[in-house]
Amino acid sequence: MAMAIFKATWFFTSSKYQVGWTENWWTSAVDAPTAAGQVANYKNVRKALLSDAAQITQVRLASVDHPRDSYFDTIGVPVTGTLAEATYPIAGVWDALLIRRDVNAYNFLGHLFLHFIPAGIMVGRVYTPASGTPASWPSAFTSYGNEIAAAGAYLLRKNTAGVITYPPCTFLIGLRRTERRLGRPFDALHGRRSVA
């Protein structure tokens, strides 16, 4: 069976702050359940970088070639962040760590915004994880980067003159603090789909 490209979307929410957002990657697999298995560890490495005021509630795998065909993987969710907000206050509801994701050739530049991060990893807008709090952040961020870059399952999407390619992400770095507006929490998810 030919390999297909799936857009993997993780749904996040905070009932405390009444906001929701998503994080997206792409992956290649023979079918949606296989694709879900390839990126199943994302929630585990991501929760170590997430405040306990937020959680991952759903994971959707949507076929790029057939956008209305989606598969919701409910195994192991919801997942609550492990950074205690009482000890490590969040940088701000709209504040995020801007992540650069790329390949070794540095020509498929893409961005990702990590929300509900601790204020202690920043000095102003400067990302300073080694001198901030929590002490677990540097190793947790390294584990997150290793999951993305080493697995080869997390793909980037680039459109060059109408030609879309999906190379594996092999380079990931935290850049700086930025603001990114969040939406409302997600209600029931609609559309034609199958659920794990």
User: With contact defined as beta carbons under 8 Å apart, do 21 and 115 qualify?
Assistant: yes
Residue 127 token pair = 């990302």
Is residue 94, in this structure, part of any structural domain at all?
A: yes
- Which domain, by its residues, includes 120? 4-182
Phi, psi of 180 (to 5 degrees): -150, 120
Is residue 194, in this structure, part of any structural domain at all?
A: no
Burial, 158: exposed, middle or buried (Cβ in 10 Å; 0-12, 13-18, 19+)? Answer: middle
Is residue 195, in this structure, part of any structural domain at all?
A: no
Is residue 54, in this structure, part of any structural domain at all?
A: yes
Alpha-carbon distance of 128 to 130, in angstroms, equals 6
Is residue 190, in this structure, part of any structural domain at all?
A: no
The 3-state DSSP class for residue 13 equals: strand
- CA dist 88 → 74, 82, 101, 187 (Å): 29, 11, 26, 28
Give pLDDT, residue 49. 96
Is residue 187, in this structure, part of any structural domain at all?
A: no
Give pLDDT, residue 193. 42
User: What average pLDDT does this structure show over 105-126?
Assistant: 87
Phi, psi of 68 (to 5 degrees): -85, -10
Q: If pLDDT is split at 50, 70 and 90, which confidence band does 108 have?
A: low
Q: If pLDDT is split at 50, 70 and 90, which confidence band does 1 have?
A: low
User: With contact defined as beta carbons under 8 Å apart, do 60 and 36 qualify?
Assistant: no
**Residue pointed to by tokens 């650069």:** 100
State the total domains in the chain.
1
Residue 196 pLDDT greater than 70, yes or no: no
User: What is the amino acid identity at position 34?
Assistant: T
Give pLDDT, residue 192. 42
Q: How far is CA 155 from the centre of its chain?
A: 12
Alpha-carbon distance of 81 to 72, in angstroms, equals 20
User: What average pLDDT does this structure show over 79-89?
Assistant: 95
Is residue 93, in this structure, part of any structural domain at all?
A: yes
Residue 39 pLDDT greater than 90, yes or no: yes
